[in-house]
Amino acid sequence: MKIPPFLLERWMTRHETHVQYDIAESGILPLTTNDLLDFEPPAERAATLERLLATPLGYSEACGTRELRERLAATYTRGDASHILVTTGAIEANFLLYNVLLAPGDHVIAPYPAYQQLYEVPKAIGCDVSLWHVGPDTGYRYDVAALEKLMTPRTRVIVVNTPHNPTGAMLSPSDAARVYALAESVGATVIGDEAYRWLDVPGGDPFAGPMFDRGPYGVSVGTLSKPFGLPGLRIGWIAAGSKLIEQCWGLRDYITLSPGKLNDALACLGLKHREQIVARNTRIIEANLKTAAAWIAARPYLSWTPPRGGLLALIKYAIDIPSFALADRLATEQSVMLAPGSAFGYEHHLRLGIGQRPDIFAEGLRRAGIVLDALQ
């Protein structure tokens, strides 16, 4: 497979371990193991810790433990543990699905801009990829009429990423139903990249239900990285028909084989306390949205559409400097990371993530303002 460099990941690798104020991060503030234990009732914490410490660090069940798959299956309205495959993050889930579902010459529709994997992997397989644009030209909303015009009898996969990375756009419940109906009409699979599930924004749009719940043509991809603040566990999953799960599992034998045993156990603990984690996330999102809105409003040369769900938004700036150069300057001069919009195909934009710890987030914006104000 020949595939171009992953622009965003290569850029982030240059700075993410060095900057003090990462406000480009795409997930919520990471939890610690102590944080997870603190969610346990006081009388149970010691026993839970002892179970974790006593976990043998051998190979785990290749498809994920039954406990983890049952907890994940319970978040959908149909299916059971046999419809879940635990993967190494959502990125492996998407990779497996593409390579099982697609062949050279197939037609794929993917959102754009997007996480680069969503359109580059099918291109590398040899597929004909049409880009479904969502951004400034669409008012940061999905246009299902535009999707319908992209459909062909050869369409095999439609990808939906909602809430959308990097714009925060949302596919409404009614539009999600329309997308599923369009896919069903040509026998295509709809992959719902639902990495930002459970990350509601106060005052935002209602979430469409998981694509897997809509029927046999729907597949959902999930992760604990973004909504649970557990990216270091590298736990994602596929929710799909049992035949497709078996096929993806078979391919996965050649890649990562199985999730980590301790990671699996910590993932179960995180899912057990999902409601407490969601409440924590809401407090962070509310604080950072207010800070970002005030910071942008104070600068006439900046504009944005706040996220309607999830954690991400694009900030447009009216300054004559390319976004890669500006992002590098912010990182080197003020130790602030804002992702370059051109990594997503939008020059003179920066991607902002609102999941950081509120005091770090506020200081990162203050420092970014020093560089931007001077350039402006």
23, pLDDT greater than 90: yes
| pLDDT of res. 18 | 84
316 phi and psi angles, rounded to 5 deg: -95, 135
7-34+275-375 against 55-272: fold identical: no
Q: What is the pLDDT of residues 117-145, one digit of tens each?
A: 999 999 999 999 999 999 888 888 999 99
Q: What is the pLDDT of residues 155-169, one digit of tens each?
A: 999 999 999 999 999
pLDDT band per the 50, 70, 90 thresholds, residue 268: very high
CA distance 261 to 361: 34
Q: What is the pTM of this model?
A: 0.94
Q: What is the CATH number of domain 7-34+275-375?
A: 3.90.1150.10
CA distance 289 to 117: 28
User: Stretch 25-40: mean pLDDT, rounded?
Assistant: 96
CA distance 80 to 332: 49
**Partners of 190 in beta bridges:** 158, 218
Radius of gyration of the chain (CA): 20
Tell how far CA 298 is from the center of its chain: 30
Q: What is the CATH number of domain 55-272?
A: 3.40.640.10
Query: pLDDT > 70: what percent of the chain?
Result: 100
64 touches 237 (CB < 8 A):
yes
End-to-end Cα separation, the chain, in angstroms? 44
Strand duo 21-22 + 336-337: pairing: parallel
CA distance 173 to 206: 7
Contacts of residue 263, defined as CB under 8 A and 6 or more positions apart, other chains included, come to 233, 234, 235
User: Stretch 94-122: mean pLDDT, rounded?
Assistant: 96
User: Stretch 70-92: mean pLDDT, rounded?
Assistant: 97
pLDDT band per the 50, 70, 90 thresholds, residue 10: confident
The mean predicted confidence, pLDDT, of the chain is 95
Question: Dihedral through CA 17, CA 23, CA 27, CA 29, nearest 10?
Answer: 80
pLDDT band per the 50, 70, 90 thresholds, residue 218: very high
What are the structural domain ranges in the chain? 7-34+275-375, 55-272
Burial of 275 (0-12, 13-18, 19+ CB in 10 A): exposed
